[in-house]
Amino acid sequence: MDLYVHPEFEIVRSEKKCIACRACERQCANCAHGYDAASGSMESYDEKCVNCHRCVTLCPTKALKIVQTQHTFRPNANWSNDTIRELYLQANTGGVLLSSMGNPRPLPNYFDRILLNASQVTNPSIDPLREPMETRTYLGKKAIPLVRDANGRLTENLPPQITLTMPLMFSAMSYGSISYNAHASLARAATALGICYNTGEGGLHRDFYKYGPNTIVQVASGRFGIHGDYLMAGAAVEIKMGQGAKPGIGGHLPGKKNIGEVARTRMTPDGSDAISPAPHHDIYSIEDLRQLVYSLKEATGNTKPIIVKIAAVHNVAAIASGVARSGADIIAIDGFRGGTGAAPTRIRDNVGIPIELALASVDARLREEGIRDDISLVVGGSIRSSTDWIKAIALGADACYIATGALLALGCHLCRSCHIGLCNWGIATQRPDLVKRLNPEVGTEHLVNLVKAWQHELKEVMGGMGINSVEALRGNRLMLRGVGMTQEELDVLGIKHAGV
């Protein structure tokens, strides 16, 4: 007999308010609600609830709420409820624990301990409503020798760059891990905003080629969906070496999700498991990476910047330095709080380092080596708000990637059950009846709203600092102060403590 695992959540239904309309039953793909015809009343199956709030949101009489169960093991500071529950699950199944989205553990968040500066008296703050406040950003290699033509005029000889209206992009989420409508929303929003979204490793659906100028196409270890037109379709090509949520681990799209258009876009047999190996099997070292970078440059006729995305691991600074010397134009670093559609829980929660520290040490290292201008630096891995973004820029990032935040704007309620494939919000699912719940027009609007709101906030903060163009914020660490940090933490971040 299996060890009993008590449900984490309880569905609380107000019998007074409930009209037994069965909307909750229809909405829940997890089948947590039922209808008892005999009594004419609704029933709840707590063990199936993932706390996604779909039923709560759509209940016409607001009769529902989901609460965390108060049922508990004997309190134990060492053996928490979660730890015991997970151990039982493993004892029952012999399986690796799976999770989705970013690391939920209460590990230190350095963004929360960094404060921003503003002008007072000695220089004026700038009102973004009255004065131009510039956020345009170019990503790519800048350090090239200047060349003048016969008339002494400087020639534009920069390698290809990504042009962004602001230093923000939607980071990689594959078609397969998320739905067609989610991709459509991201692609349209990126186009409307003048930024980029990223295909992830699932290829690019033929309907989305028209958004190419605002698309980053990814080349990952499974090489799914890659062909000449795909590489030429985007604004840049990203080689995915690692992901913050699961450094050192590949990807696995189960056969039941890899069907129809998803399988076709990936150029894999319908219904087969799409497995991305942990390493690229043609990259076992840095010199191999260089070959892939230059292969992609040749394949695209040197018209696309090449991004190399790595996970933030312990020696990330040295790795980044190697990447910068590999011919890559942009390096993307993904921190350990970054999201995922599915990852082994233990890996997600224990491998990698916070993006704040990784970013600070990579930026400092590239500067020490005099090669910071050879490469642009993009970071992601839980940029939750405009101020996380602003702090990342001031620490030294050229731009940030957001994904979890973008999914929230599409309606995700962070129930962390993407790996089940039954996303009631139509995001992390391929079930047609669920996918159609996400209206791409509404999704696009929400994404555009979110990013524009952040851009407004960026401008307000920059104006307060007396900065009117975002490049003057980049790496401007004097605009940051730490609170409640050790000297070592401050040293890694390259910032001073508040009050100093």
Partner 1 sequence: MLNEGQIRIPSGCAIAGVFSRCGALMPGNDIIRSIEVMHDRSNGLGGGFAGYGIYPEYAEYYAFHFFFNDTAAQRKCENFLDRHFSIVSFGEIPTRKMPEITNEPLIYRYFLLPLPDRLRASQLTEQEYVSRCALRINCEIDGAFVFSSGKNMGIFKANGYPEDVGRFYRLEDYGAYCWTAHGRYPTNTPGWWGGAHPFGLLEYSVVHNGEISSYDANRRFLEMYGYKCSLQTDTEAITYIVDYLTRRQGLTLEETAAVMAAPFWSTIAGMPEEEKNYYTFLRKRFSSLLVTGPFSILLGFTGGLMVLGDRLKLRSMVCGDHGDFFYAASEECAIRAICPEIGGIWSPDAGQPVIVRLA
In the shown chain, the binding pattern of residues 374 to 403 toward partner 1, with x for contact by CB under 8 A and - for none, equals: ----------------------x-------
Q: Is 299 helix (H, G, I), strand (E, B) or coil?
A: helix
Query: Which range binds partner 1 by CB under 8 A, 7-15, 124-132, 250-258, 379-387?
Result: 124-132
In the shown chain, the binding pattern of residues 315 to 334 toward partner 1, with x for contact by CB under 8 A and - for none, equals: --------------------
User: Exactly one of 142, 384, 431, 446 binds partner 1 (CB under 8 A); which one?
Assistant: 142
Q: CB-based burial of residue 119 (10 Å sphere; 0-12 exposed, 13-18 middle, 19+ buried)? A: middle
* Residues contacting partner 1: total by CB under 8 A: 37
User: Exactly one of 86, 112, 134, 457 binds partner 1 (CB under 8 A); which one?
Assistant: 134
Site for partner 1 contains 497 (CB under 8 A): no
> Which of 446, 498, 424 lies closest to 31 in space, CA to CA?
424
Site for partner 1 contains 123 (CB under 8 A): yes
According to DSSP, residue 332 is labeled E
- Do the Cβ atoms of 474 and 139 come closer than 8 Å? no
* Residues of this chain, 148-177, that bind partner 1 according to CB under 8 A: 153-154, 156, 158, 161
Angle 308-401-106 from CA coordinates, rounded to 5°: 110
Main-chain dihedrals φ then ψ at residue 9, nearest 5 degrees: -125, 155
- Do the Cβ atoms of 279 and 221 come closer than 8 Å? yes
Task: Encode 348-414 in three state secondary structure.
Answer: HHHCCCCHHHHHHHHHHHHHHCCCHHHCEEEEECCCCCHHHHHHHHHHCCCEEEECHHHHHHCCCCC
- Cα-based distances in Å from 168 to 125, 197, 198, 402: 24, 9, 12, 7
User: Exactly one of 367, 384, 446, 456 binds partner 1 (CB under 8 A); which one?
Assistant: 367
Indicate the residue among 396 and 405 with the shorter CB distance to partner 1: 396
Indicate the residue among 253 and 473 with the shorter CB distance to partner 1: 473
Query: Which range binds partner 1 by CB under 8 A, 136-144, 268-276, 299-307, 322-330?
Result: 136-144
According to DSSP, residue 162 is labeled E
Indicate the residue among 11 and 467 with the shorter CB distance to partner 1: 467
Q: CB-based burial of residue 148 (10 Å sphere; 0-12 exposed, 13-18 middle, 19+ buried)? A: exposed
Query: Which range binds partner 1 by CB under 8 A, 16-24, 254-262, 351-359, 366-374?
Result: 366-374
Site for partner 1 contains 441 (CB under 8 A): no
Site for partner 1 contains 304 (CB under 8 A): no
Q: Is 400 helix (H, G, I), strand (E, B) or coil?
A: strand
* Residues of this chain, 89-108, that bind partner 1 according to CB under 8 A: none
Site for partner 1 contains 476 (CB under 8 A): yes
> Which of 232, 313, 241, 233 lies closest to 276 in space, CA to CA?
241
Tell me which residues touch partner 1 (CB under 8 A).
119, 122-124, 126, 131-132, 134, 136, 138, 142, 144, 146, 153-154, 156, 158, 161, 367, 370, 372-373, 396, 465-469, 471-479
